[in-house]
Structure 1
């Protein structure tokens, strides 16, 4: 029997990160969760039986902290890392003219630079454990179609898909699997916030008013499992995400017309 496989998940204190940790733990993997939310991480680990688990505080914007966290996790997991899941992210919405510069910077730094840093720091571990190792980046339906009022968030999620596509080619010779997972609206704490500090409207209220479905977070965790073990580049989760991917490919003019007449949200 081979060595127990291990997975490192950012944003593991809640939502998709927690669901992914529980899914892989149930499959017998050694699970590591990283977050800035220490209480959330403790709660996640409390839901996992046994000792095959680890947690560490990590701000994904800090490149040096990535090296420290991955080294600590690898040591706890027996010296190897088989999968890195770039999940940590925040939501930002509203008219670009309303956003403060620090709101723009924070979204770009966490959602996009954090993914690049995670991929860069994780590469030597994934190369060492290949074939069978994987980098999975959590994008969004907002990385498929860009709607009004979501310019910064969409920029990051389109970027996450671009990073994934680039690394899929760049790392092919190393036999590292690279994929992006694109949920639509998922039942996570992200829905409870507002688009920006000048808005009092909850994201959840906008989603509900638009008549869009909210997908159980466990479906995303299963998609991450499929991505780690699969061969596709993009995994579209939820009816909205799948519909947007189809329409953007086959009816781009219609999609543009619809978006220019709507200000509704389109992604996780």
Structure 2
């Protein structure tokens, strides 16, 4: 049994690509058994092929479906030898653009995956993490967009502020159970998500907009190392990349200047 040999198990949503795939590789390298969860079964299989034989399992999961969470976690525990030590609530989708450009479907989908999916994940993970405490971890992917709301990211920021709030609430709520709760707060990360349009009304992709704004794109490897450090460390929120660190510094020490900068960012031409 791969799980018994590995000793510790992490369950990763969004495991088919991007941050989820990189974190899976990092934890497998560290000797953990890795449960991959996603709606993209082909992508999960590709991730699993990058991991040592017998050290992972794949589980189809739509994070919006509470019953699927229970089934996927139980299947992962069975494959891993009976326990889950960390759950990485990572699945998410980008959505951007002026709030008036977004369709109701786009808004509802982002809220359901990025926010409701994280809440359902925390609910479903609790019994497994309580059983493997002390030292078990719920790790949530928040964002630099959860530090300060920037123009053009209102709905995405709302979901990531929500993830930040969930993290802080559960850090207190689960302390007596000796379950650690952590978040990652990355800026723009070099994953396939950057190659999507921010919304249905847009031409061009997010990557081009980020580069046009002069912002840095952080290698996904850096997020994987941050996830490893977050699971093994004591920091509640882990900032990843220069954009996130600058945003956190400015929001704390120069809130007035940051607000002025954000208002300039979205000023219509000629005004």
TM-score by length of 2: 0.95
Instruction: Give, in whole Å, the separation in 1 of the partners of 2:188 and 2:255.
Output: 22
Indicate conservation of the 8 Å contact 1:147/1:263, yes or no. Answer: no
CA deviation digits over 1:48-82, x for unaligned, max 9?
A: 12201101110000001000000000111111000
1:93 aligns with 2:96: yes
1:177 counterpart residue number: 180
Contact residue 144 and residue 187 of structure 2 kept, 8 A: yes
Pairing 1:246–2:240 present: no
- Which residue does the alignment assign to 1:9? 12
Name the residue aligned to 2:59. Answer: 56
Cα pair 2:34 2:56 within 8 Å, conserved: yes
Give the Cα–Cα distance (whole angstroms) in 1 for the partners of residues 131 and 85 of structure 2: 9
Q: Deviations for 1:173-217, whole angstroms, at most 9, x for unmatched residues?
A: 011110110000100011000110010121000000111111110
> In structure 2, do the counterparts of structure 1 residues 3 and 221 end up closer, same or farther at CA, with 3 Å as the change threshold?
closer
Structure 1 runs (4+) deviating above 4 angstroms are: none
Alignment size in residue pairs: 264
* Corresponding residue number in structure 2 for 1:236: 239
- Structure 2 unaligned spans of 5+: none
Question: Residues 81-230 of structure 1: matches in 2 within 5 Å?
Answer: 81-230=84-233
Q: 2:220 & 2:13 partners in 1: Cα distance?
A: 15
Kept in 1, the 8 Å contact 2:194–2:207? The answer is yes
Displacement, 1:132?
1.2
- Quote the Cα distance in structure 1 between the aligned partners of 2:155 and 2:57: 33
CA distance in 1, matches of 2:177, 2:165: 19
Structure 1 residue 145: deviation in Å? 1.3
**TM-score of the superposed pair, with normalisation by structure 1:** 0.97
